[in-house]
Structure formats: structure tokens, C-alpha cells
Amino acid sequence: MREFFQRRGKFRPHTADEDRADQQIPENLWVKCPRCGDLLYSKELERNDRVCPKCGYHLRLRARQRIALLTDVGTFREWDADLRPEDPLHFVDASGPYAAKLRATQAKTGEVEALVTGEATLDGRALALAVADFDFLGASMGSVFGEKLVRAAERCAERGLPLVTVNSSGGARMHEGLLSLMQMAKTVAAFARLGRAGVPHLSLLVDPCYGGVTASYATIGDVIIAEPGALIGFAGPRVIEQITKQKLPEGFQTAEFLLDHGMIDLIVPRPELRQTLATLLDHYAHSTRGLPQPAVPDHPEPVLAVAAEVAGG
């Protein structure tokens, strides 16, 4: 199996910062491929779904770009766009208050949170999507991320609508403390109910996907798909190197590594994603499960509401 990796060219780790710094010269006209280093004309890159035409490297997509890629034009209806993050811990770190960081991130990204959910069609097939946006605080999973995902899963269970999640994350959002960790429990519980309702959850892992997202709803999909070369794991490579002093093997935590170890079903290149999802959705449309669906409950108030009123009043 080792030569399997070698054919794809040598893995070169990079950070999101490097991506941004390297790619945007000059003025977004030309983009440098993070892997082969070639300068690519950005319009050509966009036409190619941000896959490097030279080496096949899959550059990251923003959430809205991903939705455009996977849905029919004009069919996406966003859900719960009015949910806003809070700063329940009044968290302040070396770079300042979380509240200020949230506002700056919202202004920079044009998104209010790191997850976009909604429904659309894919070549006429109805589906729901939950797409993480890595540019928003590393698509870390906080309270709103969890709440949107749970509401999406509840709606899908009620309506029998297949749910496609597109997962990329640095892990649980530290600024919301243990509330973030608990989103793992909360989302998994909702996906378990979705499963009991017989509704499929297709999980697409894209670069990079780590921590609490990898250790919760993203790895319990009925089908788990990854994009070529995506880095996917629980612990980050630097953490592992620091703690264990082990030298990481070539290709460690790539989609190909996960496929090799039996952790995912498929690796699908971006240009083939629509067709693969469509084919899978057609199979599930023939599901013989006809269980009664649980009613979608009214959205409960967060337990923090009372405490927050006191704190805010």
C-alpha cells in the first residue's frame, strides 16, 4: 500500500495563514498552489472548483462556495440564519475579548457563525446541507454551531430529508469553554435520532478536520466521504509530535491514510462530488424504512437564558 501514497506527490504540511499569505498575490489575480507552488490564474482556478489544474491539489472552499458547488442554482434556502453567538464566559485571552474577536470575524468573513445550514436541491433531489466555514475561527464548534446542526438534524428527521454535512474544523471552540465540548454530545444525540428515523446522513470531510468535530457527528455518518489529500484526525500533528516525540509517517492523517485504515468509505475528487452524492441519494430514496417520524419539538430556550438575563440586566 505504501506506493499508493508515493504516486500522489510528497505531502507538504501548511497552515491556513500560509495559505492566505501565499495565495493572494497580487490582488487575487494569481493564486499560488500551496502544494506545487505554481501560479494559477484565479479565474481558471474558480472554473476548476478551486482544484489546482497542475497537481490536483484541492484548495479550501468557503461555505457558500461549497453550497454553490453541491446545489442547483438558486435553490438554497438557509435555515436559522438569525442565530447569533454569545460570549457566555466573558472570555478574554491574549488577543482580547472573544466578543470583539467574534465581531471582527463576522465583518471579515461576512458570516455570523462558522456553520451554514439549509435546504436545496441537487440535480432536482431534495437535500439539506450543513457546511462548516473554516475561515470563521477555524470552523470551531461552539454553541451556535451545535444548535444549528441539531435544528437541521431535527428538521431532517421530521421531513425525511437526507442531510449532507461538510465538515472542516479545528475542533471545539475554546472561547465558549465546556459549553463547546457539550455540543459534541448534543449533536451526536440529534444525529442518533436522525438515524433512528431512518434518514441518511452523508458526511463529507474536507481539509482540515480535527478535534471535537472528528470525534462527534462527522465520523458517524452513514457514508463518510473525504476529498483527496484532506487532513483529518483527532489530535493535531503538532500536538502528537510534541507529546510523543514520534516522527510522523509520510501521508499521516491524509484522506488516503484514513481510507487505508478503514476509517472512511470513499475518497471523491471535487469534480465528481455532485455525481457521487446524487447516486447515493438515489439509493436512499429507495430505502424501505417507513418508520413514523418524531415530531420536531419547539426549539427550547438555552439553559443559559435565565443566567444571561441576570448577567445582562
Partner 1 sequence: MAEPPVEPTSAPAGPDPNGAEPAALSAWDRVRIARHPERPHALDYVAALTNDFVELHGDRAFGDDRALIGGLARMGGRTVMVIGHQKGENTRENIDRNFGMARPEGYRKADRLLRHAGKFGFPVVTFIDTPGAEPNIGSEERGQGTAIAESLVMMANLRVPSVAVVVGEGGSGGALAIGVADRIVMLENAVYAVASPEACAAILWKDAGRAPEAAETMRITARELADLGIVDAIVPEPRPAHERPREVIEATGKVVNALLDDLVASYPIDDYPGVERLREARYQKFRRIGAWRTAEQQSTGLPDDGLL
Q: What is the DSSP letter of 254?
A: B
Closest CA to 218 of 197, 198, 232: 232
Residues 294, 298, 302, 308, Cα dihedral to 10°: 180
For position 280 contacting partner 1 by CB under 8 A, the verdict is: no
Interface stretch with partner 1, choices 10-18, 64-72, 114-122, 244-252 (CB under 8 A)? 244-252
Cell of 147: 444548535
Burial class (CB in 10 A: 0-12, 13-18, 19+), 149: buried
Name 155's Cβ contacts closer than 8 Å, sequence gap at least 6.
79, 128, 161, 296
Residue 301, Ramachandran bin (φ over 0: left; ψ between -120 and 50: alpha; else beta): beta
What part of residues 118-137 is at the interface with partner 1 (CB under 8 A)? none
For position 64 contacting partner 1 by CB under 8 A, the verdict is: no
Closest CA to 13 of 268, 251, 257: 251
- Minimal distance, residue 251 CB to partner 1, in Å: 12
For position 16 contacting partner 1 by CB under 8 A, the verdict is: no
Among 52, 61, 67, 102, binds partner 1 (CB under 8 A): 102
For cell 431532517, the residue is: 156
For position 278 contacting partner 1 by CB under 8 A, the verdict is: no
Residue closer to partner 1, measured from CB, 145 or 284: 145
Residue closer to partner 1, measured from CB, 49 or 113: 113
What part of residues 31-60 is at the interface with partner 1 (CB under 8 A)? none
Among 168, 169, 180, 254, binds partner 1 (CB under 8 A): 180
For position 266 contacting partner 1 by CB under 8 A, the verdict is: no
Interface stretch with partner 1, choices 8-16, 21-29, 175-183, 275-283 (CB under 8 A)? 175-183
What part of residues 143-162 is at the interface with partner 1 (CB under 8 A)? 143-144, 146-147, 150
